[in-house]
């Protein structure tokens, strides 16, 4: 597998593509983040936040940097304690799960929900939009998952899961039950509660806005980055018309953000 192909499987080193992929799979209006909220550990299979009881904050580079989900490093409750298990899960899905590219992309987006600042300040497991769960399940229903007896959840098969390693469609029959079995809570898209669910545009638009305000430097793209952009654009062409338009608009903004990150 080539270097660029590897980045398409795991988007951990390219947070800009991560952000705009999630927006392209989303719907819903804008909701402003709660500036007064504090981090609340999710419980279940999710490791407790080191910053529990404190507001979401920026994460610096170096030993404290996020292993993946770096699009949220500007404002997050996460540390490597959360992102390392998420990285292992996505790596296992790529290595043992026989997952499609769409499944790998979407499952990574799902795992990174715990690092979204709005999710971090909400009590209980990460709250996922039901429509996004449906997309993940549709893409991953033929990928292989195993049951974890300790956490009572399902996750991508690992090296020791040969006996209980079966397709996701064996474990669950729809997106809502799949997300719940994986340890998340699910909110119907038409739910009128104030808190936004993860997987809607509202869950990330505030992140886009903050990056836009902070973006001051512009540098040229590296050849490898452009090559990966071309590969991703080719993948976008198989999406529905609505998704194409959404992704196209996202990429108009992505150039500026990626230039800043390379500065």
Both tokens of residue 130? 């039901």
Closest C-alpha among 89, 173, 78 to residue 126: 78
Is residue 150 within 8 Å of residue 193, measured between CB atoms? no
**Are 133 and 179 within 8 A, CB to CB?**
yes
Write the burial class of residue 122 (CB in 10 Å: 0-12 exposed, 13-18 middle, 19+ buried): buried
Q: What is the pLDDT of residues 44-59, one digit of tens each?
A: 999 999 999 999 999 9
What number is the average pLDDT over the span 85-105? 94
Residue 24: pLDDT band (50, 70, 90) is low
Query: Could you tell me the residue ranges of all domains in the chain?
Result: 3-262
Q: What's the pLDDT score for residue 33?
A: 52
Question: How far apart, in whole angstroms, are the C-alpha atoms of residue 38 and residue 189?
Answer: 25
157-179 pLDDT, tens digit per residue, is: 987 755 689 999 999 999 999 99
Alpha helices in the chain (DSSP H): 3-9, 15-24, 80-96, 101-111, 117-120, 130-140, 168-171, 175-181, 202-214, 223-236, 241-262
Residue 103 near residue 168, CB atoms below 8 Å? no
When mean pLDDT is compared across 49-53, 94-98, 209-213, 233-237, the lowest value belongs to 233-237
Averaged pLDDT of the chain: 74
Q: What is the pLDDT of residue 151?
A: 86
What's the pLDDT at 39? 97
Structure tokens at 249: 């608009």
């Amino acid at each position: 597998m080539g270097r660029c192909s590897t980045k398409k499987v795991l988007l951990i080193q390219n947070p800009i593509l991560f952000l705009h992929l999630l927006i392209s799979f989303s719907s819903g209006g804008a909701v402003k983040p709660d500036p007064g909220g504090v981090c609340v550990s999710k419980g279940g299979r999710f490791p407790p936040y080191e910053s529990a009881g404190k507001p979401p904050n920026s994460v610096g580079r170096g030993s404290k940097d996020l292993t993946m989900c770096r699009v949220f490093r500007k404002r997050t409750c996460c540390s490597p304690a959360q992102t390392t298990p998420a990285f292992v899960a996505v790596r296992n899905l790529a290595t043992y799960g026989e997952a499609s590219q769409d499944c790998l992309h979407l499952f990574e987006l799902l795992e990174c929900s715990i690092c979204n600042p709005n999710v971090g300040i909400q009590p209980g497991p990460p709250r996922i939009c039901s429509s996004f769960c449906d997309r993940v399940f549709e893409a991953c229903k033929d990928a292989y998952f195993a049951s974890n007896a300790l956490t009572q959840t399902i996750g991508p098969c690992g090296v020791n899961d040969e006996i209980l390693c079966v397709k996701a469609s064996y474990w669950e029959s729809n997106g809502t039950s799949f997300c719940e079995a994986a340890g998340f809570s699910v909110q119907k898209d038409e739910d009128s509660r104030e808190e936004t669910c993860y997987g809607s545009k509202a869950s990330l638009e505030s992140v886009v806005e903050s990056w836009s305000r902070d973006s001051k430097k512009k540098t040229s793209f590296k050849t490898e980055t452009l090559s990966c952009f071309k590969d991703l654009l080719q993948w976008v062409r198989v999406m529905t018309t609505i998704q194409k338009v959404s992704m196209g608009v996202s990429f108009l903004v992505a150039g500026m953000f990626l230039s800043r990150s390379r500065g």
